Amino acid sequence: CGESKDTEEEVEVSEAPKFLSKPLVSHIYTADPSVHVFDGTIYIYPSHDVESVVEEDDSGAHFNMRDYHVFSMTDINAEPVDHGRALDVDDVKWAKRQMWAPDAAKKGDKYYLYFPAKDFDDIFRLGVAVSDSPTGPFTAQPEPMKGSYSIDPAVFQDGEEYYIYWGGIWGGQLQKWRTGEYLSTGKSPYADEPEDDEPAISPMVAKLSDDMLEFGEEPKKIAILDQDGTPIKAGDHERRFFEAAWVHKHNDKYYFSYSTGDTHNIAYAIGDSPYGPFTYQGVVLKPVQGWTNHHSIVKIDGKWYIFYHDTELSGETHLRNIKMAELEHLADGTIKTIEPILK
Ligand code: FUB
């Protein structure tokens, strides 16, 4: 027989993080949050959205950002601290405009900021800037990464290796590189896409060079497959890759997550290697307020979180605010779909 208990069993109450589904930053507009934990501190590398005189178009010209601010949080409930301007377009020799979604990595005692921007021919390239501090200021390399194009770089560290993922269609120009050369057809951003029944445009991956400043190998296309092993088709807008690549690892599986663009989901696919192929699984985050959806997934103190953005503060698609929510991997390895709280 067991011991009778005269005291109530202690129940562990895990408190919801203070900022759950609330804007994390409200003194400036922020978007596309790439989050990392470096030496026990949480760092957020977002885009810095600004009012723009440039008219809205299908290429996203109204996302006319010109600098980056880095934020830090001592823990998941701490107020994010703005460390000021970390890099300005005027300090990047090759870049003309549109400093879109960045990411960062730490190797040794150096920090690397990866960012897309349009060059003086209005072609998106990827740049790298270096600092001794995770919050910058960062010093940009004089040239973009050799052979780089398109947008949304995301760096994933797997042991000693660092992989960079990137790409975005339509305004992100990835469809213009289908032949290996930039197709300046002058047509609409959708013009150079494959037919609906052809495989969708693939996001890209490459190992980074030892000095973290260039691709360390020939970039490879990433296959995103249906459950039956066939590539997701270009016409499958609910599931095909659009932009915002991110990779995280859980139970030795690689999770490739991304935005589906005009259907506004963050979807994910699972693979056994950082190069893929990745098999489509479902939706991580349903559409948020505003057209774009862009996220990062990170483990902090043993719990998984998704950082994302919406337009709660402004109601304008190009003036976004970053948020966070808890993310759950279910026992079968799938991710529980998150319904962002809409107002
Ligand atoms: O922030 C500008 C662009 O909007 C990003 O590069 C895309 O991922 C989308 O969020």
Burial class (CB in 10 A: 0-12, 13-18, 19+), 328: exposed
Pick the closest to residue 35 from 246, 326, 211 (CA basis). Answer: 246
Ligand 1 contact, 294 CB (< 6 A): yes
Q: Tokens 């975005």 — which residue?
A: 168
What separation in Å is there between the alpha carbon of 1 and the centre of ligand 1?
A: 63
Alpha carbon of residue 196 to chain centroid: 26
| CA torsion through residues 294, 329, 231, 127, sign | positive
Backbone phi, psi, residue 139, to 5°: -105, 120
CB atoms < 10 A from the CB of 319, how many? 20
| 32 included as an active-site residue | yes
pTM: 0.94
Distance CA 64, CA 50 (A): 7
Average pLDDT of the segment spanning 194-204: 97
Q: Is the predicted pLDDT of residue 178 greater than 50, yes or no?
A: yes
As given in the structure block, the two tokens for residue 115 are 């960012």
Higher pLDDT, 250 or 60: 250
Ligand 1 contact, 214 CB (< 6 A): no
Ligand 1 contact, 126 CB (< 6 A): no
Q: Tokens 């990062």 — which residue?
A: 296
CB atoms < 10 A from the CB of 78, how many? 14
Q: Is the predicted pLDDT of residue 8 greater than 50, yes or no?
A: no
Q: Is the predicted pLDDT of residue 245 greater than 90, yes or no?
A: yes
Ligand 1: residue of 243, 258, 323 to mutate (most ligand atoms within 8 A of CB) is 243
| CA torsion through residues 254, 158, 20, 241, sign | negative
Query: Would you say 328 and 336 are in contact if contact means Cβ atoms under 8 Å apart?
Result: yes
Q: What is the DSSP string of 223-278?
A: PEE-TTSPBPBTT-TTTS--EEEEEEEETTEEEEEEE-GGG--EEEEEESSTT--E
Ligand 1: residue of 59, 292, 318, 322 to mutate (most ligand atoms within 8 A of CB) is 292
Q: Is the predicted pLDDT of residue 250 greater than 60, yes or no?
A: yes
Distance CA 195, CA 90 (A): 39
Confidence (pLDDT) at 3? 36
Average pLDDT of the segment spanning 151-159: 98
What separation in Å is there between the alpha carbon of 26 and the centre of ligand 1?
A: 19
Q: How confident is the model at residue 16 (pLDDT cuts 50, 70, 90)?
A: confident
Average pLDDT of the segment spanning 223-249: 98
Pick the closest to residue 168 from 144, 192, 203, 199 (CA basis). Answer: 203
What separation in Å is there between the alpha carbon of 63 and the centre of ligand 1?
A: 8
pLDDT digits (tens, 9 = 90+) for 79-127: 999 999 999 999 999 999 999 999 999 999 999 999 999 999 999 999 9
Beta-sheet pairing, 220-221 with 204-207: antiparallel
Question: Which residue of the set 32, 119, 193, 310 is catalytic?
Answer: 32
Query: Would you say 222 and 165 are in contact if contact means Cβ atoms under 8 Å apart?
Result: yes
Atom of ligand 1 nearest to the CA of 309: 10
Ligand 1 contact, 63 CB (< 6 A): yes
Q: Is the predicted pLDDT of residue 12 greater than 90, yes or no?
A: no
Pick the closest to residue 69 from 105, 113, 108 (CA basis). Answer: 113
Q: How confident is the model at residue 184 (pLDDT cuts 50, 70, 90)?
A: confident
Pick the closest to residue 245 from 266, 218, 223 (CA basis). Answer: 266
Helix (H, G, I), strand (E, B) or coil at 307: strand
Q: How confident is the model at residue 185 (pLDDT cuts 50, 70, 90)?
A: confident
Query: Would you say 30 and 313 are in contact if contact means Cβ atoms under 8 Å apart?
Result: no
Q: Which helix (H) or strand (E) holds 313?
A: none
Ligand 1: residue of 45, 63, 316 to mutate (most ligand atoms within 8 A of CB) is 63
Confidence (pLDDT) at 14? 55
Ligand 1 contact, 100 CB (< 6 A): yes
| 195 included as an active-site residue | no
Distance CA 161, CA 159 (A): 6
As given in the structure block, the two tokens for residue 44 are 């957020």
Pick the closest to residue 135 from 156, 106, 157 (CA basis). Answer: 106
Pick the closest to residue 168 from 183, 184, 189 (CA basis). Answer: 189
Query: Would you say 339 and 286 are in contact if contact means Cβ atoms under 8 Å apart?
Result: yes
Distance CA 61, CA 271 (A): 34
Q: How confident is the model at residue 183 (pLDDT cuts 50, 70, 90)?
A: confident
Question: Which residue of the set 119, 214, 236, 243 is catalytic?
Answer: 243
What separation in Å is there between the alpha carbon of 332 and the centre of ligand 1?
A: 31
- Residues 6 or more apart whose Cβ sits within 8 Å of residue 218: 206
Average pLDDT of the segment spanning 273-289: 98
Q: Is the predicted pLDDT of residue 49 greater than 80, yes or no?
A: yes
